[in-house]
Amino acid sequence: MLAASPKGTVPVLILQDGSIIDESLDIMRWALGLNDPHNLLLTGQPQPQEQAKTLIDNNDNEFKSWLDKYKYADRYPEQSEIFYRTEGEKFIAQLEHLLEKHQQLLSDSASIVDFAIFPFIRQFAGVDRTWFNQAPYPNVQLWLASHLESPIFANIMKKYPTWLESGESFLFGP
């Protein structure tokens, strides 16, 4: 993995031509560029595409840093865990407002923005599940639950033994 991507983070996708994609969103866009039967990329919808881009940018460039500090507050003693959670809640409140209108972030159908942001909201909720379950974000809670309980999520979260445990290789794809 480090030979392919010195960043040392996952995911890393090595294409047949040897090119490497090592950002989750880029991998999602690449895969959906090959096959997007549900129009998750919002093709032909410039306004929703722009809204999706803005939300993903906010998630990646603002919320994610607060999430990391909230998850690992002991590594960031400059402020309290509650402070970091409160800063992260600003994004959660924005999502709550969007989800007052639709079942998903931009409409009643999931799009790339839902799948791009969902893992980070899952992590945020997991820091203090008791707090999150009673927090004033019922729409975000329902949205998160719907993704956690979806067959798509169950399928991608299938556990495989590590190659160290089994000695087997697992190849994904065609």
Q: Are residues 57 and 103 in the same domain?
A: yes
Q: Are residues 18 and 92 in the same domain?
A: no
Cβ-contact 45, 116 below 8 angstroms:
no
Residue 164 pLDDT? 66
Q: Are residues 54 and 140 in the same domain?
A: yes
Residue 46 pLDDT? 97
- Please state whether 110 falls in left (phi above 0), alpha (psi between -120 and 50) or beta: beta
What's the total number of domains in the chain?
A: 2
Tell whether 160 is covered by a domain: no
Looking at per-residue pLDDT, the higher value among 166 and 82 belongs to: 82
Residue 173 pLDDT? 59
Residue 117 pLDDT? 98
Tell whether 13 is covered by a domain: yes
Could you read off the pLDDT of 59-110 as tens digits, one per residue? Answer: 999 999 999 999 999 999 999 999 999 999 999 999 999 999 999 999 999 9
Residue 22 domain boundaries: 1-35
Residue 159 pLDDT? 78
Q: Are residues 65 and 91 in the same domain?
A: yes
Q: Are residues 67 and 131 in the same domain?
A: yes
Q: Are residues 85 and 2 in the same domain?
A: no
Residue 3 pLDDT? 78
Tell whether 172 is covered by a domain: no
Amino acid at 38: H
Residue 6 pLDDT? 77
Q: Are residues 96 and 67 in the same domain?
A: yes
Q: Is the dihedral of CA 26, 29, 35, 40 positive or negative?
A: positive
Average pLDDT over the chain reads: 92
Q: Are residues 102 and 149 in the same domain?
A: yes
Q: Are residues 68 and 147 in the same domain?
A: yes
Residue 79 pLDDT? 98
Q: Are residues 9 and 69 in the same domain?
A: no
Residue 169 pLDDT? 65
Residue 9 pLDDT? 75
Cβ-contact 21, 13 below 8 angstroms:
yes
Average pLDDT over residues 15-34: 94
Percent of the chain whose pLDDT exceeds 70: 92
Q: Are residues 90 and 26 in the same domain?
A: no
Percent of the chain whose pLDDT exceeds 90: 76
Tracing tokens 């309290």 back to the chain, one arrives at: 80
